[in-house]
Chains A and B, each alone.
Chain A
Amino acid sequence: MSLSAPLVLGIESSCDETGVGIVRGTELLVNAVASSMEEHVRFGGVIPEIASRAHLDAFVPTLSAALKEAGVSLAQIDAIAVTSGPGLSGALMVGVSAAKALALATGKPLYGINHLVAHVGVGVLDGGALPENLGALLVSGGHTEILQVNSLTSDVRLLGATIDDAAGEAYDKVARLLGLGYPGGPVIDALAKEGDPKAIRFPRGLTLPKFIGTAQEPGKHRHDFSFSGLKTAVARCVEQYQKRGEEVPVADIAASFQEAVVDVITAKAVRACTEHGLNNLLLGGGVAANSRLRELLAARCASAGITLRVPPRNLCTDNGAMVAALGSQLVSAGVAPTGLGFSTDSGQPVSLVSLLA
């Protein structure tokens, strides 16, 4: 096995994407993804039972396709990595069971790795080794987190997270309120371009002094997020038009809502980086595709002297390549594999980059 560029197969099944990726060191060979997303559309969000059934049926075909596309055999693989958490527990179990079977059949070392840290690790596939003094902002349907990445393979800390709804979840709920369907992110992003972001003043969660304190004496929620109050405010705003029988100004609400989300996320991310001496920031997760988030984050990072890194879109959403990328970094760093005896951890904290044997 080449320690500097190990051939690693990564498996992801924490939500609705069945992903198998293969990397050699920091080189991406294949990123095969089967999604059950379309099955969830009419339910307005992911249904775990449907996702789990789809993972079971999609796994072997996706694995087979990935090996074929990459032109490698199982025997050539140096190590296997699989998402052990956080995520939907029934969905995780399908990927973990399959990964264990693969490790058992081939005798290859197996790593149970953290899904969120993999969203950061995927950065090595686009521009090589990650810089020092690195922060990460992860925004998706299930996550809104700011991380401090001291070492990708051994020291990742949570600086802030949502205390109620994730940002992507707020998008989905507001889209439901506005009758825009699922998923909410892309449709609100598009509609917001036609609306006035200043038309309605929506709340910025956890920005009051009692929550944020000062740099010297930080409040309890200085770097945390809250989108529940924002969602409620949108509900009330829609309600007042409906009660009066007036047309709901959907585009203005979408624009004003999006501005509130993006304003608070970017302001808090930049502040967290600045106060922790992080002059590099990596953006990951499905909401990284949001045009206004990218635009405002780029502007605020530039003003604060922070270098922003955004991997390509297909690497920002859930996929197996990010799992393989983190796995390959773990192999190179000499981290011991997890083995076969671990269980899934649907609430796996970021401090657990990979599970211990």
Chain B
Amino acid sequence: MLLLAIDTSANASTALLRSRGTVIEVLGSCTSERGNDHSEVLASAIESLLADASGQRPEAIAVGVGPGPFTGLRVGLATARTLGFAWDVPVHGVVSLDAIALEAAADNPETDFVVAIDARRKELYWARYSSSGLLMDGPHVSVAEELPALPVYGAGAGLYAERLVASGATVVAEFADAHPGAVALGTRALRALASGEALEGTEPLYLRESDAKVPAVMKGKLL
């Protein structure tokens, strides 16, 4: 299966992956360095990935549903949903923290672990995973002190290292600068699809609630 993966929960990140049975091949990937305007760079990055793959149309799309800064997150979701509509292919949502968890599990942790990234406002987005990388609890948004006393992976750990250690957690240094990336996100999605595991919808995980609803009224459709 040819899969396009997109995650904009931190950087704008996209990857094209192909699975044959359990073998997953990364055909190409691109991650922006700037944290800012994902809407400027994402489409061009996808275009060049597809051009390198001789323009083959992906058979599915995986997109990070967050948590992450809302404005950037929506760029990835709007892109993925619209591509899915135009290509008429399924769009699968993946919790963005799963991307870091996949790499953390490959580190063979001995216990459950936590993945945490910056949530701004002096808080972290975090979730608890089993040592094999299964999501056990979360995602949540809270201050560092509320995280379980477990090894913490991800850029959030680097950001609040002292406070996490003070409250009993440990910081995994090699992962203290890790952000969700599309290669790991796509790998996670392909493994799930291969094993028949259900993936998320594409509703964003805002965690901080606003009262927004979908506008119910469609007006003036016909003229």
Interface residue ranges, A against B (CB under 8 Å): 18, 28, 30-39, 47, 49-50, 52-66, 69, 74, 89-90, 93-98, 100-106, 314, 319, 340-344
Q: Is the CB of A93 within 8 A of B215?
A: no
Minimum Cβ distance to chain B for residue A195 (Å): 30
Q: Is the CB of B218 within 8 A of A343?
A: no
**A35-B221 Cα distance, complex, nearest whole Å:** 12
**A134-B46 Cα distance, complex, nearest whole Å:** 42
Q: Is the CB of B218 within 8 A of A33?
A: yes
Provide the residues of chain A in CB contact with B82, threshold 8 Å: 59-60, 63, 97-98, 101-102, 105
Provide the residues of chain A in CB contact with B222, threshold 8 Å: 30, 69
- Stretch of B83-91, B93-101, B106-114, B191-199 contacting A (4+ beta carbons < 8 Å): B83-91
Q: List 6 A-B contacts (CB under 8 A).
A: A57-B214, A62-B218, A93-B38, A96-B39, A105-B83, A344-B39
Q: In chain B, what residue has the closest Cβ to A34?
A: B215
Q: Is the CB of B221 within 8 A of A52?
A: no
* Chain B residues numbered 34-93 whose CB sits less than 8 Å from any CB in chain A: 37-44, 46-47, 50, 70-71, 74-83, 85-87
Q: Is the CB of B43 within 8 A of A18?
A: no
Q: In chain A, what residue has the closest Cβ to B217?
A: A35
Query: Which of B77, B82, B213, B214 has its CB near the most chain A CB atoms (within 10 A)?
Result: B82
Q: Is the CB of A54 within 8 A of B86?
A: no
With A18-B215, A49-B212, A341-B44 as contacts: A100 and B39 at CB distance below 8 Å: yes
* Chain B residues numbered 178-211 whose CB sits less than 8 Å from any CB in chain A: 204, 206, 210-211
Provide the residues of chain B in CB contact with A74, threshold 8 Å: 86
Q: Is the CB of A340 within 8 A of B71?
A: no
Provide the residues of chain A in CB contact with B210, threshold 8 Å: 47, 49-50, 53
Q: In chain B, what residue has the closest Cβ to A20?
A: B221
Provide the residues of chain B in CB contact with A57, threshold 8 Å: 214-215
Minimum Cβ distance to chain B for residue A348 (Å): 14
With A32-B218, A340-B47 as contacts: A97 and B223 at CB distance below 8 Å: no
Provide the residues of chain B in CB contact with A64, threshold 8 Å: 85
Can you list the 9 inter-chain pairs with the closest CB atoms, starting with the nearest?
A105-B86, A100-B43, A343-B40, A53-B212, A101-B82, A97-B78, A93-B39, A50-B212, A57-B214
Minimum Cβ distance to chain B for residue A5 (Å): 17
With A31-B220, A104-B43, A106-B86 as contacts: A39 and B79 at CB distance below 8 Å: no
**A61-B214 Cα distance, complex, nearest whole Å:** 11
Provide the residues of chain B in CB contact with A103, threshold 8 Å: 43
**A102-B85 Cα distance, complex, nearest whole Å:** 9
Provide the residues of chain B in CB contact with A89, threshold 8 Å: 71
